[in-house]
Amino acid sequence: QRGPYEFNNGKLKELLIPGIDKRFYVSEVREYGDSVYLLATRGYGLMVVRMERGGLRLLFNLNSKTGLGSDFVNRILVDGKTVWLIAMNGVYKITDLLGRRQIDYIGTDEGMPENTWESSMIQMDTSGNVYIAGTGGLMSFRKDVRFRSLLVQRTYLTGLSVGNKPFSWRMPDSSLSFTGLPPSYEFRPRENSLSFSFTGINLYKPGQVKYQYRLKGYSDSLTVTNTPYVTYNDLPPGDYTFEVRSTANFLFGNEPYERFSFTILTPFWMTWWFRTLVLLTIAGIVYAFYRWRLHEQVNKQKLRLSMEKQLNESKILAFQARMNPHFIFNSLNAIQYFMVNNDKVATLNYLSKFAKLLRQILDNTIEAKVNLEKEIDMLRSYIEIEELRFDNKFNYQIEIREDLIPGNMEIPGMIIQPFVENAILHGLLHKKDKGVLRISFDTNGRQVICTIEDNGIGRKASEQMNRQKATNYQSHGTSIAVNRLQLLNDSETDLTNRVFFEDLGDEQVPLGTKVTIQIPII
């Protein structure tokens, strides 16, 4: 009655437990292993302590506040990790005391003759039979027996929330709302988050009630819990039945299920007719897109054929413009002039360059694109003929950027020559002193940039002189070239080909003309 003592080497030593009054009643002591001892007390329930140097250290105690149901324990039986207790109000079986501890109460509902065992003993034989002796007589059972209450426990569904709102319903022919659960119910597609609350009535052992539930149609597996509610979020459309039952026994037996059947309706976008409609709509859109693409391809093909036709026509016009009668007539006059003056060397030289130019023009006319190097050679032949024809009245320079390789680039042919012809005939020819013609080639990666610059009389003075001559011949070479460049514009790649004219100097003192041509690299 004064707490635990240790008898060692003929001496009796009082063992103190920090935080516990030393004047408490210990009815029995059992060793649990690893210096752990179990103390059956009257007032503190079951105390679990560890023997340490200098005394005892309380690990924990089980009483009416911590799941045991009684503060008075009379006897202890240790069987491995299982502990049997005889308390004031009945027998307890504790499984895995220091681990995932489970406490089961064994009373009259489980078949015991009585619940009061104040003066009693408990023992176990080598065969695993447990014996309990008390005022009610001697009782025996196997240690692995599973006790079950003789009473059938009912379970009740106490509430339902839909989307965190209390559930209420109406009869089809009534305006009254009901808060209970109908036999079955149909929820709208968005009402698919449900919370069920339930309770199992057990006045004798309310703290030991546990529940077993499942939602058929969602999962057939059973879940055991001590929590009297469960929530299901975002349930898919379908038919469901919620089942729940409860017990205060060690195992579930023949306890009846409480059931609630319900249906979550399928949203229209998940119905077969809507999906069929969507598939047909998508098929229609795909077909319409296919027809549109096919129409676009046909239109592009027609446009490409039309452009090719216009390009071919413009090439013929460019050839005709380049080989205009005035140019041939003047060339023949120059040859005649050299022959009359008995200048055989000049005549042969002119004839040779004239024949070479004709061959180059014919070659460049056949193909849709021309190597830039060949185009420059043709320009050089043309300029040299004009140089001989006008008795070296001007000099010319052709400059090519160092990193530009003409032999690796192809451009539309017969574009540059009309602008060079304009620079010679309308700019340099009317200049009193010797003129200079500069032609340069550059690139921006997508286009060849050709610049033609002369120090002639300028465009305004040339127009005045042409009006005074009142000639019937009009050269269309430059307009044809500009038209061809516009036909080669590509809106898909944002490629625009332009020709820029710039008057050098001012109106009082003209210093010539500069023409910049953007030619696409094909």
* Pair 124, 205 in one domain: no
Q: Is residue 273 part of a domain?
A: no
What number is the average pLDDT over the span 297-322?
A: 69
Q: Lowest-pLDDT range, 201-215, 244-258, 465-479?
A: 465-479
Q: For the chain, what percent of residues have pLDDT higher than 70?
A: 89
> What per-residue confidence (pLDDT) applies to 356?
86
Confidence of residue 152 (pLDDT cuts 50, 70, 90): confident
* Pair 414, 499 in one domain: yes
> What per-residue confidence (pLDDT) applies to 514?
95
> What per-residue confidence (pLDDT) applies to 192?
92
C-alpha 517/C-alpha 488 separation (Å) is 13
> What per-residue confidence (pLDDT) applies to 76?
95
Which residue in the block uniquely carries the two structure tokens 């446009």?
Answer: 303
Q: Is residue 12 part of a domain?
A: yes
* Pair 317, 453 in one domain: yes
C-alpha 42/C-alpha 39 separation (Å) is 10
* Pair 132, 203 in one domain: no
* Pair 111, 219 in one domain: no
Tell which residue, 307, 419, 278, has the closest CA to residue 368.
Answer: 307
CB atoms within 10 A of CB 496: 14
Q: Is residue 327 part of a domain?
A: yes
C-alpha 342/C-alpha 325 separation (Å) is 25
Residue 144, judged by CB atoms within 10 A of its CB (0-12, 13-18, 19+), counts as exposed
Q: Is residue 275 part of a domain?
A: no
Over residues 444-491, the pLDDT tens digits come to: 989 999 999 999 988 888 888 877 765 555 556 788 788 888 878 887
Q: For the whole model, what pTM was predicted?
A: 0.42
Which residue in the block uniquely carries the two structure tokens 């041939």?
Answer: 328
Q: For the chain, what percent of residues have pLDDT higher than 90?
A: 39
**Half-sphere CA count of 463, side-chain side, radius 13 A:** 4
Q: Is residue 25 part of a domain?
A: yes
* Pair 128, 28 in one domain: yes
What is the chain's mean pLDDT, rounded? 84
Question: Between residues 309 and 38, which one has the greater pLDDT?
Answer: 38
CB atoms within 10 A of CB 88: 15
Over residues 343-379, the pLDDT tens digits come to: 788 788 888 888 888 888 777 766 768 899 999 998 9
What DSSP string runs through 286-324?
HHHHHHHHHHHHHHHHHHHHHHHHHHHHHHHHHHHHHT-
Domain membership of residue 421 as a residue range: 299-520
